[in-house]
């Protein structure tokens, strides 16, 4: 069993994943390193940089015992047996592959640092989501640095979802570990596997070759996102025909070949990975000379963009194409509930489009900070913008509003006193439920004009 683990990158994946590995392996010293001092300070405090239900308890149990967070990147790498690379791999914003390829500069930097400071053989684990064949690229980089030590590369993609990270880590559907089919490669895979065997049943630890493992991660995200785009495409047809997308989703989901999960129609999927990983897949298909395959997957992202634009168009048309100067309450800014993460949140593009229409936005999210919302909307957080008011209370947000747009499915939005909200709003009082969270019958009875995703405006079924 390896005694020292280092994880480079204390983000949404590195932090929670290593906290659970440390909790379950008290004999292994796990150190998470990052160049971002604020993040490391956060991980060493009571207010973790990542909001995730149950995470603080896990961190508190292991922190200082066998879990450490530090900016001492090189020293930690030097002493580790296994090094997880869990840095960001965003979409490239320049040069070849701009707008679709993954930017591997952070991963490459890690590899060069490892090769430079290593004083013993290392197992390097790709925890970041990377394009298929990245291990080959890493081997070249490591070799080019001329180290006298051996490096074994293992692919161990992460499948946790934000908001449920601890549940997902505690009880994963599978842990995927890919490695070289040599005896050294197999030993490295076994070593990484031993960390998970502390709590994951062996039959859920799947080992494959390196390339299958790398490609499975992109494929899993592409399939998940494809389901959402598929049901969202049907939601548009439901709105024209008075079919109800929730009823359709339930009907098709009961077919065990289709399955019931990931069929919730919404204002669009967000998060740091679905779009970037599909675009990466699209780039790879083009790169490997498969333009038809690239086009097929590109449509999943295009459908998502269409869904976000369509939501704003529906607001505009219900409000007679004029929201200029009118107050709109925005309920939720995070890309999903139970996270403070706003990366690629559909709320960003919806709010930007509404601002283009000169609406005044009164935004409430229980976990996202004002500065983050301002930055996401391209505003300077130090200058108050009267068009974007960040509220600390949903009842305050709706005062004198013409409409509410529900953009994140926070549980608390379903529990609010909508009679009180109705009284505080201007009439006609619209609600655009981008998550199908609210109860149509009840709201319509109060007097709201309710517009749900994938339901004609007269539909009240299911609840």
Ligand X SMILES: NC(=O)C1=CN([C@@H]2O[C@H](COP(=O)(O)OP(=O)(O)OC[C@H]3O[C@@H](n4cnc5c(N)ncnc54)[C@H](O)[C@@H]3O)[C@@H](O)[C@H]2O)C=CC1
| Residues assigned a catalytic role | 273
Nearer to ligand UGA, 165 or 189 (CB): 165
Q: Which of residues 144-173 bind ligand X (CB under 6 A)?
A: 158, 160, 162
Give me the least distance between CB of 462 and ligand X, in Å please.
30
Count of residues of this chain found to bind ligand X when the rule CB under 6 A is applied: 27
d(Cα 262, Cα 341) in Å, to the nearest integer?
20
263 binds, among ligand X, ligand UGA, none (CB under 5 to 8 A by kind): ligand UGA
Q: Which of residues 99-118 bind ligand X (CB under 6 A)?
A: 106, 109-110
Cβ atoms of 196 and 159 within 8 Å: the answer is no
- Report if residue 454 touches ligand X, rule: CB under 6 A: no
Helix (H/G/I), strand (E/B), else coil: 66 = coil
Nearer to ligand UGA, 273 or 350 (CB): 273
109 binds, among ligand UGA, ligand X, none (CB under 5 to 8 A by kind): ligand X
> Do strands 327-331 and 430-433 pair parallel, antiparallel, or not at all (unpaired)?
unpaired
- Is 89 annotated to bind a ligand? Reply is yes
Give me the least distance between CB of 302 and ligand UGA, in Å please.
16
Among 31, 272, 340, 436, binds ligand X (CB under 6 A): 272
d(Cα 252, Cα 262) in Å, to the nearest integer?
12
How far is CA 11 from each of CA 19, 34, 44, 217, 375, rounded to the nearest angstrom? 12, 9, 13, 18, 19
* Dihedral (CA of 264, 270, 273, 274) sign: positive
Give me the least distance between CB of 50 and ligand UGA, in Å please.
11
* Dihedral (CA of 113, 116, 119, 123) sign: positive
Q: Which of residues 118-147 bind ligand X (CB under 6 A)?
A: 128-129
Torsion angle of C-alpha atoms 299, 302, 304, 309, degrees rounded to 10: -150
Residues that bind ligand UGA (CB under 6 A): 129, 158-162, 221, 224, 228, 262-264, 266, 269-271, 273-274, 335-336
Give me the least distance between CB of 260 and ligand UGA, in Å please.
10
**Who contacts 384 (Cβ-Cβ below 8 Å, separation ≥6)?**
none
Cβ atoms of 132 and 281 within 8 Å: the answer is no
Question: Could you tell me which of 450, 455, 442 has the C-alpha nearest to residue 265?
Answer: 455
Residue nearest to ligand X (CB): 11
d(Cα 104, Cα 280) in Å, to the nearest integer?
11
Among 73, 224, 228, 397, binds ligand X (CB under 6 A): 73
Cβ atoms of 373 and 388 within 8 Å: the answer is yes
- Is 12 annotated to bind a ligand? Reply is yes
- Report if residue 88 touches ligand X, rule: CB under 6 A: yes
How far is CA 249 from each of CA 240, 242, 315, 429, rounded to the nearest angstrom? 16, 14, 24, 29
Nearer to ligand X, 14 or 454 (CB): 14
Give me the least distance between CB of 42 and ligand X, in Å please.
10
- Is 11 annotated to bind a ligand? Reply is yes
Give the number of other CB atoms < 10 A from CB of residue 343: 19
Q: Which of residues 12-31 bind ligand X (CB under 6 A)?
A: 12-14
- Report if residue 318 touches ligand X, rule: CB under 6 A: no
Q: What angle do CA 118, 120, 124 make, to 5 degrees?
A: 70
Among 21, 34, 59, 238, binds ligand X (CB under 6 A): 34
The end-to-end CA distance of the chain, in Å, is 53
Cβ atoms of 124 and 111 within 8 Å: the answer is yes
Give me the least distance between CB of 282 and ligand UGA, in Å please.
16
- Is 95 annotated to bind a ligand? Reply is no
Give me the least distance between CB of 73 and ligand X, in Å please.
5
How far is CA 439 from each of CA 59, 268, 428, rounded to the nearest angstrom? 37, 20, 18
Among 31, 66, 76, 86, binds ligand X (CB under 6 A): 86
| Helices assigned H by DSSP within 381-430 | 394-397, 411-414, 418-424
- Is 261 annotated to bind a ligand? Reply is no
8 binds, among ligand X, ligand UGA, none (CB under 5 to 8 A by kind): ligand X
Q: Residues within the annotated binding site for NAD(+)? A: 9-14, 34, 39, 87-91, 128-129, 162, 273-276, 343
Q: Residues within the annotated binding site? A: 9-14, 34, 39, 87-91, 128-129, 162, 273-276, 343
Binding site for ligand X (CB under 6 A): 8-14, 33-36, 39, 73, 86-89, 106, 109-110, 128-129, 158, 160, 162, 272-273
């Amino acid at each position: 069993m390896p005694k020292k683990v280092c994880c480079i990158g204390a983000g949404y994946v590195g932090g929670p994943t290593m906290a659970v590995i440390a909790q379950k392996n008290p004999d292994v010293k796990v150190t998470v390193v990052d160049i971002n001092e604020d993040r490391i300070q956060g991980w060493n405090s009571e207010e973790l940089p990542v909001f995730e239900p149950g995470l603080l308890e896990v961190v508190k149990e292991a922190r200082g015992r066998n879990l450490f967070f530090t900016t001492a990147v090189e020293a930690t790498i030097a002493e580790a047996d296994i090094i997880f690379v869990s840095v960001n791999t965003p979409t490239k914003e320049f040069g070849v592959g701009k707008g679709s390829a993954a930017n591997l500069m952070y991963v490459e930097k890690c590899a060069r640092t490892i090769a430079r400071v290593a004083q013993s053989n290392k197992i390097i684990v790709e925890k970041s989501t990377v394009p298929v064949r990245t291990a080959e690229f890493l081997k070249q980089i490591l070799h080019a640095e001329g180290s006298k030590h051996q490096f074994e590369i293992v692919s161990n993609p992460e499948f946790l979802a934000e908001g449920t990270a601890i549940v997902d880590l505690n009880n994963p559907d599978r842990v995927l570990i890919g490695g070289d089919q040599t005896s050294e490669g197999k030993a490295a895979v076994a070593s990484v596997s031993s960390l998970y065997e502390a709590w994951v049943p062996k039959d859920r630890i799947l080992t494959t070759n390196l390339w299958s493992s790398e490609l499975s991660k992109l494929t899993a995200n592409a399939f998940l996102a494809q389901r959402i785009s598929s049901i969202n495409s049907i939601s548009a047809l439901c709105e024209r025909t008075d079919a109800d997308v929730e009823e359709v989703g339930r009907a098709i989901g009961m077919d065990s070949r289709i399955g019931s999960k990931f069929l919730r129609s919404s204002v669009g999927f967000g998060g740091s990975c679905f779009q970037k990983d599909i675009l990466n897949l699209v780039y790879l298909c083009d790169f490997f000379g498969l333009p038809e395959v690239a086009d097929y997957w590109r449509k999943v992202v295009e459908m998502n963009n269409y869904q976000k634009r369509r939501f704003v168009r529906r607001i505009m048309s219900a409000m007679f194409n004029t929201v200029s100067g009118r107050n709109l309450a925005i309920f939720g800014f995070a890309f999903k509930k139970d996270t403070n993460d706003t990366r690629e949140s559909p709320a960003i593009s919806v709010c930007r489009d509404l601002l283009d229409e000169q609406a005044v936005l009164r935004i409430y999210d229980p976990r996202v900070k004002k500065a983050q919302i301002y930055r996401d909307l391209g505003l300077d957080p130090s200058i108050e913008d009267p068009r974007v008011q960040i509220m600390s209370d949903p009842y305050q947000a709706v005062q004198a509003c013409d409409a509410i747009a529900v953009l994140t499915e926070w549980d608390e939005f379903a529990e609010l006193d909508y009679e009180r909200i109705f009284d505080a709003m201007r009439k006609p009082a619209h609600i655009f439920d981008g998550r199908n969270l609210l109860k149509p019958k009840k709201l319509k009875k109060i007097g709201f004009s309710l517009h749900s995703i994938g339901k004609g405006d007269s539909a009240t079924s299911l609840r």
